[in-house]
């Protein structure tokens, strides 16, 4: 019984997977630091590029993306904060007409550079973090726009860093 259910599932999912729609996403926006990093950094900017693969018959997709965040500091004894990130997310499409709302959650690796000018080697590290957020996309014929907001939390040995990036961009 289980075997026939598995085979039937494959016949349903394989055609859907063959119709998977990869979409390139390019954007940028504002990053608001929170928590420990928010004490020393000012709001900054970020650039993002990613690939979203959705299956038309299912409201779920997978997105892989990379981001570069720059957060300046007004303290002369500190270097500016920089995060280079790579993340993978599960994207849940919500029903919508014209606008396509979605919710996403995932995990990533975050390379941090910043901290005191006197200790340049001790303030570069990579840690794992998680994120969650929501967004909206529009446009169906190959080109579209999207806007999303995320909460990113990065656990470190000395505490935690978090930020809220707001991204606007294009999907191809």
DSSP string, 40-93: H---EEEEEEEEEEE-TTSSEEEEEEEEEEEE--S-TTEEEEEEEEEEEEEEEE
Does residue 165 form part of some domain? yes
Confidence class for position 37, pLDDT limits 50, 70, 90: confident
117 in any annotated domain: yes
CATH number assigned to the domain comprising residue 158 = 2.40.160.20
Is 151 a member of any domain?
Answer: yes
Pairing type for strands 21-34 and 160-171 reads antiparallel
How many structural domains is the chain composed of?
1
Q: Which domain holds residue 102?
A: 20-171
What is the rounded CA–CA span in Å between residue 5 and residue 126? 43
For 57-83, what is the mean pLDDT? 88
More confident site: 27 or 158: 27
d(CA 122, CA 114): 9
The answer to whether residue 13 scores a pLDDT higher than 70 is no
């Amino acid at each position: 019984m289980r075997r026939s259910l598995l085979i039937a599932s494959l016949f349903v999912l394989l055609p859907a997977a063959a119709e998977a729609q990869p979409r390139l996403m390019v954007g940028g926006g504002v990053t608001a630091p929170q928590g420990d990093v928010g004490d020393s950094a000012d709001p900054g900017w970020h650039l993002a590029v990613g690939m979203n693969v959705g299956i038309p018959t299912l409201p779920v997709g997978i997105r892989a993306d990379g981001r570069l965040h720059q957060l300046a500091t007004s303290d002369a004894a500190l270097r500016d904060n920089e995060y280079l990130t790579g993340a993978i997310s599960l994207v849940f499409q919500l029903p919508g007409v014209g606008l396509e709302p979605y919710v996403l959650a995932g995990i990533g690796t975050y390379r941090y550079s910043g901290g005191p000018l006197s200790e340049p080697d001790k303030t570069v590290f990579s840690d794992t973090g998680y994120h969650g957020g929501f967004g909206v996309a529009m446009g169906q014929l190959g080109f579209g726009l999207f806007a999303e907001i995320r909460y990113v939390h990065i656990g470190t040995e000395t505490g935690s860093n978090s930020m809220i990036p707001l991204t606007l961009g294009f999907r191809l």
